[in-house]
Amino acid sequence: MRTSWSVNSTEEIRFGAGAVQELPDLCRKFDAENIVIVTDQGIVNAGILEKVEAVMAEFKVFVYDKALPEPPVESAVECLEAAKSEMHPDLIIGLGGGSSIDLAKVVALLLEHGGAPEDYYGEHQVPGPVAPLIAIPTTAGTGSEVTSVTVLTDKKKQIKTGISANELRPKAALLDPELTLKLPAYVTACSGIDALSHAVEALTAKESSYIEAEGKLLFQGANPISDALALQAIKHIVPNLALAVHQGSNLEARKEMMLGSLLAGQAFSNAGTAAAHALAYPIGGRTSSPHGELTGLLLPYVVDFNRPAAKGKIAEAERAVNPQSALIDDDEAALLFVERLFELLEDIGLPVTLEEIGLDEAALPDVAEQALNVARLVRNNPRKPDVKSFTALLERAYRGREYA
């Protein structure tokens, strides 16, 4: 039995509509003069980069705008070399969705410690603090602005890989919901449901004392602080996700979603995610669906699968958004939450079956087996799965909610 747990977080968080105006003050705190902004073409085309550059007149700024989803490892080296040809960088800013911020994390790592990204693959391979890094998310989803993980694509090895270390957490996160107002409805839906899956899986994760692994862990299982963060995230996300999808200019809904995503990121980056994310990885290699769409689709089936082992936590999630459920027992409240998740997916126009996204039904046993190999997530799941039970879960997810 593990006898202690810890909580790690980004050192400073600034949040609010118009908060981007505070970016120069943050940069001055790091005595920065030469700044690299890592972003992507979508942010450029939406005019968001222009808004950020407008407040940065006193600094020398180099922009790398070629970030891609799950960025290739080579792009981090390319970004840093291009920046060094123009300046001596002393601060990195990640501006955009999770991929831009993930890439910025690797650039900050290489700037401080040198070498190549592959030198740091896995957990706890970062030798010390990385170069100063500010994260400015433009989606409400990944929580990357406060997490310790970056996901990369290694084209040579033809794998998706990651670097995980608490040293990768940005020194500061600046969250301005106004920057999300131009986010398309589909992206809002996928990123928002991903944030909800982070919160729910962190809440229902196995208690830290019962995680069956030795040594230092990034994903430690649930603890009282991660539980509190996850419940608050659920409370902000569930009532506002559909509103943000259908009323993209609703700033209050955008604000609530960004806050929920932030809280969920803080929760899962300590407690960890579980089966929905473990299953999403092998499915992602077989379909064109984005990560958030997959975790959202799987979430109600996984929560239902976990009810025998986590009905109390699931009932807490329902009561966080429906106070009247305090009048019913945990079994009924947990079932209501599963149904709530299905209804939310339908409300925001996302698929609710694996058949809809084109997954081959014959691949389900292989998906189950591959998911079991994602040990750092599977060990967090409150109900222990095996190939047979995971396959049965996937079969229900293939056919639909009436089989759940």
Distance CA 195, CA 180 (A): 15
Domains of the chain and any CATH numbers: 12-179 (3.40.50.1970), 183-403 (1.20.1090.10)
Distance CA 146, CA 68 (A): 20
Give strand pairing partners of 361.
none
Angle between helices 275-284 and 185-204 in degrees, nearest 10: 140
Give one DSSP letter per residue of 268-325, joined into a string. HHHH---HHHHHHHHHHTTS---HHHHHHHHHHHHHHHHHHHHHHHHHHHHHHH-GGG
221-225: long-range pairs with CB below 8 Å, 24+: 221/2, 221/5, 221/271, 221/272, 221/380, 222/271, 222/313, 223/5, 223/7, 223/270, 223/271, 225/7, 225/270
320-328: long-range pairs with CB below 8 Å, 24+: 320/231, 320/232, 320/234, 320/235, 320/238, 321/234, 321/235, 321/238, 321/239
Give strand pairing partners of 133.
92
CB-neighbour burial class of residue 355 (10 A; exposed 0-12, middle 13-18, buried 19+): middle
Give one DSSP letter per residue of 156-202, joined into a string. TTTEEEEEE-GGGS-SEEEE-GGGGTT--HHHHHHHHHHHHHHHHHH
Per-residue pLDDT of the chain (404 residues; tens, 9 = 90+): 788 899 999 999 999 999 999 999 999 999 999 999 999 999 999 999 999 999 999 999 999 999 998 889 999 999 999 999 999 999 999 999 999 999 999 999 999 999 999 999 989 999 999 999 999 999 999 999 999 999 888 877 766 788 999 999 999 999 999 999 989 999 999 999 999 999 999 999 999 999 988 888 889 999 999 999 999 999 999 999 999 999 999 999 999 999 999 999 999 999 999 999 999 999 988 998 999 999 999 999 999 999 999 999 999 999 999 999 999 999 999 999 999 999 999 999 999 999 999 999 999 999 999 999 999 999 999 999 999 999 999 999 999 987 55
pTM for this model (two decimals): 0.95
Which amino acid type is present at position 330?
D
Whether residue 360 contacts residue 330, with contact meaning beta carbons closer than 8 Å, is answered with no
Distance CA 201, CA 230 (A): 9
Whether residue 30 contacts residue 132, with contact meaning beta carbons closer than 8 Å, is answered with yes
